[in-house]
């Protein structure tokens, strides 16, 4: 059966792959970005969603400038909380399922074992607080919702850590990367496939979704370098930057980062869904995808 799917934030790196995944499966997809629909304008959301009559809305649009959010609090909440409320109310009106993409930043990062879906949240940043506000609005205003928390996202469409590292490795002699923040990288192609599988089901609830395994940012950078060399991604291997570990304290940022944000995929396991592949395998697939572009 083919469905009508609306994707907000369609020009972002996850939104782009979500649109592509549903289109490849033959569904009728409407991808919306801020030019097509301002999610902070409730009437515009009502009109657009009423006009398209989607069966499912994948809400990828978000304010994701983590550091900027610390001083731009109202905008972060206007997009991540009010905007999410607007989408949720309009979705409920047309009886559409709603998939809300959330983040590992809803946790304080002070734990040492992987966070499960129903562990207590305690966001430390404005970004994390505004995304948690969005979660709560979805849960209270929608009758058919999925909340998918993800982390360390990378994809071919848009800016991300992998692309930045590949660029810097060729241009610099040394790179310092933090070694005291641990999490799980997530490839947008894999995440989009899981989103599609969940959205077409009745398995509502909160899910943690990332590629299997975990690493520090330093270990991730080292793996990017190793796999890119193996793949032949660099024009010359004689001048690739040396990667050095450093602490978060050496690079102070406006927004606090979770020191430990590894997420357990209990929701995926208990609902009989297939786990996403290990992050290093996903990284290799991403390098292949980049090469084709």
Task: Specify if 123 maps to a domain.
Answer: yes
State residue 236's pLDDT score.
Answer: 73
List, in order, residues 6 or more apart from 71 with CB less than 8 Å away: 254
Per-residue three-class SS string for 66-92: HHHHCCCHHHHHHHHHHHHHHHHHHHH
Q: Residue 133 is part of which domain span?
A: 4-160+185-213+261-278
Per-residue pLDDT of 95-107, as tens digits, reads 999 999 999 999 9
pLDDT level of residue 123 (50, 70, 90 thresholds): very high
CATH number of the domain within which 48 lies: 3.40.50.720
**For residues 57 and 5, what is the distance between their CA atoms, to the nearest angstrom?**
6
Residue 114, pLDDT > 90, answer: yes
DSSP letter at 28?
Answer: E
Task: Specify if 83 maps to a domain.
Answer: yes
Per-residue pLDDT of 124-177, as tens digits, reads 999 999 999 999 999 999 999 999 999 999 999 999 999 999 999 999 999 999
Per-residue pLDDT of 47-104, as tens digits, reads 999 999 999 999 999 999 999 999 999 999 999 999 999 999 999 999 999 999 999 9
The reported pTM is 0.97
Q: Are 158 and 125 in contact (CB under 8 A)?
A: no
Task: Specify if 165 maps to a domain.
Answer: no
The pair of structure tokens assigned to 13 is 């790196």
Which residues carry out catalysis? 127
Per-residue pLDDT of 24-42, as tens digits, reads 999 999 999 999 999 999 9
**For residues 117 and 284, what is the distance between their CA atoms, to the nearest angstrom?**
28
State residue 206's pLDDT score.
Answer: 98
State residue 143's pLDDT score.
Answer: 98
State residue 270's pLDDT score.
Answer: 98
Task: Specify if 91 maps to a domain.
Answer: yes
Residue 217, pLDDT > 80, answer: yes
Task: Specify if 227 maps to a domain.
Answer: no
Among the ranges given (187-191, 214-218, 221-225, 230-234), the one the predictor scored with the smallest mean pLDDT? 230-234
pLDDT level of residue 181 (50, 70, 90 thresholds): very high
State residue 201's pLDDT score.
Answer: 98
Task: Specify if 172 maps to a domain.
Answer: no
The pair of structure tokens assigned to 2 is 């083919």
pLDDT level of residue 289 (50, 70, 90 thresholds): very high
Residue 191's φ and ψ, nearest 5 degrees, are -65, -40
List beta partners, residue 187. Answer: 154
Count of domains for the chain: 1
Q: Are 129 and 181 in contact (CB under 8 A)?
A: no
Task: Specify if 166 maps to a domain.
Answer: no
List beta partners, residue 206. Answer: 147
Task: Specify if 286 maps to a domain.
Answer: no
Mean of pLDDT over the chain = 96
Chain center to CA of 132 = 14
State residue 291's pLDDT score.
Answer: 83
C-alpha closest to that of 185 among 155, 227, 143: 155
């Amino acid at each position: 059966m083919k469905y009508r799917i609306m994707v907000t934030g369609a020009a972002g790196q996850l939104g782009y792959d979500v649109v592509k995944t549903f289109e490849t499966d033959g569904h009728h997809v409407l991808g919306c970005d801020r030019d097509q629909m301002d999610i902070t304008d409730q009437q515009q959301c009502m009109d657009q969603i009423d006009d398209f009559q989607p069966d499912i809305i994948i809400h990828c649009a978000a304010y994701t400038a983590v550091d900027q959010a610390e001083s731009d609090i109202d905008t972060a909440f206007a997009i991540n909380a009010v905007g999410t409320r607007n989408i949720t109310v309009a979705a409920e009106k047309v009886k559409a399922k709603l998939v809300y993409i959330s983040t590992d930043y809803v946790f304080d990062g002070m734990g040492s074992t992987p966070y499960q879906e129903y562990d207590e949240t305690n966001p430390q940043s404005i970004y994390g607080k505004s995304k948690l506000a969005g979660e709560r609005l979805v849960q209270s205003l929608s009758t058919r919702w999925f909340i998918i928390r993800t982390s360390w996202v990378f994809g071919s469409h848009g800016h991300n850590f992998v692309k930045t590292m590949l660029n810097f490795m060729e241009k610099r002699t040394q790179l310092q990367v933090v070694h005291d923040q641990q999490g799980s990288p997530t490839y947008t192609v894999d995440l989009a496939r899981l989103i599609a599988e969940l959205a077409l089901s009745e398995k509502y609830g909160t899910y943690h979704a990332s590629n299997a395994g975990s690493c520090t940012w330093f270990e991730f950078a080292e793996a990017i370098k190793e796999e890119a060399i193996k793949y032949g991604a660099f024009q010359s291997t004689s001048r690739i930057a040396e990667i050095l570990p450093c602490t978060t304290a050496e690079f102070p940022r406006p927004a606090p980062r979770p020191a430990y944000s590894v997420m357990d995929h209990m929701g995926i396991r208990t609902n009989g869904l297939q786990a996403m592949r290990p992050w290093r395998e996903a990284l290799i697939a991403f390098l292949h995808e980049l090469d084709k572009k």
